[in-house]
Structure 1
């Protein structure tokens, strides 16, 4: 799929989302998430359906096609487009690489709402960490260690929540989670409610 094909797929998804939108839901989303994003008013089910339909329409998408399409969807600050990018990455998580964390970091820095940050952290980054091995896993862990010490609260939240899938499945790494919390404590002079909430959630799943 070339650049024109990626743009066509993004337009197909965008049109699907707008077709499924309502102004009542758009207003509800704005009340819930704030005015920093635009809202079509499409439901989560409609977002997931748009990605399924795109997969049927463009069945030959490669790893590079998926990541380029995710970026194309994310480029416009529309909540439903960005949620569609998250769902797309969730659907392709088995093919994602540690090098994709750079792109995902950009998404996290501009997400600003838990309903985008959390599925990226848990279902994309956390799932990747469970699958990667060897040097790829070590490089991914190094990226998360940097996120834990970042000045961006949403990156710190993501660094915490990325541990959640492993603890939910009984394979959590206690020492790695403690290192994440220590790194956060080193930069977080004023307690961030977004990060503290994430720590409490992972601890409720068995983390120390």
Structure 2
């Protein structure tokens, strides 16, 4: 393990709480271990690591994120997410492959959502036009994937940009349509994606009520919700 990785892991374990660990294991489960460090402690640990190891390069940041993620401990994986969020300007569209692997293996809202909303989306907004076009194509593929967590991440990723007056509304609408067309085999599959769509639409409606879904997409969403309610 790298020096930075050891520092982060040791700090997270010092912040551990067996009561919180037991609570999170019962609530979140998913085959992960839990130190019981709070979200605030995870964020503080990454800030401290940044001060202790300043000037890390792109490869060092992404390598450290993979090192943290590789051990199935919730707080380590959350720390990997926060690390990437804290270094968005170092990332580019080539890093979407790594992020896709994280999303596929996360399988928890508490990891997938911050990866998408505060990682993938803001990173794409910082890219130049050519790289952003390539990244948008990747998100389009995610929306068509069988993996429900990739579909959820594709839908959630533009949330911050859309709320703030930017973002690609047409691209978001296309991804909704693609995600809704995927066959849904389970209620959880149905709910995880439709919940994400509803969340983005509700948040955007508060800030930008002028943005409306095309009728065909809106009707598809209504049908999906009705099907979910009948299961």
TM interval, short-chain normalised: over 0.9
Report what 2:201 is aligned to: 203
Report what 1:149 is aligned to: 144
Residues 35 and 126 of structure 1: is their aligned pair in 2 closer, same or farther, counting only changes over 3 Å?
Answer: closer
Out of 67, 71, 84, the residue aligned to residue 66 of structure 2 is 71
Report what 2:221 is aligned to: none
Report what 2:35 is aligned to: 40
What is the SS of the residue equivalent to 2:2? helix
CA drift at 1:60: 2.2
| TM-score with structure 1 setting the length | 0.93
Report what 1:115 is aligned to: 110
Q: Is contact 2:30-2:107 (8 Å) kept?
A: no
Report what 1:128 is aligned to: 123
Report what 1:82 is aligned to: 77
Aligned-partner Cα distance in 2 for 1:149–1:77: 27
Report what 2:228 is aligned to: none
Report what 1:140 is aligned to: 135
Larger radius of gyration: 2
Deviations for 1:55-93, whole angstroms, at most 9, x for unmatched residues?
111112111100000000000010000000000000001
Deviations for 1:84-133, whole angstroms, at most 9, x for unmatched residues?
00000000012210000000000000001111100110111110122212
Deviations for 1:147-167, whole angstroms, at most 9, x for unmatched residues?
000010000000000121121
CA drift at 1:36: 1.5
Give the root-mean-square deviation of aligned CA atoms: 1.3
Deviations for 1:17-52, whole angstroms, at most 9, x for unmatched residues?
001101001001112212421000101111111111
Tell whether 2:98 aligns with 1:100.
Answer: no
| TM-score with structure 2 setting the length | 0.84
What is the SS of the residue equivalent to 1:38? coil
Tell whether 2:65 aligns with 1:60.
Answer: no
Aligned-partner Cα distance in 2 for 1:145–1:200: 18
Q: Which stretches in structure 2 are left out of the alignment for 5+ residues?
A: 206-210, 214-231
Out of 186, 189, 192, the residue aligned to residue 190 of structure 2 is 192
Report what 1:3 is aligned to: none
Of the structure 1 ranges 82-91 and 32-41, higher mean CA displacement relative to structure 2 is found in 32-41
Q: Which stretches in structure 1 are left out of the alignment for 5+ residues?
A: 1-5
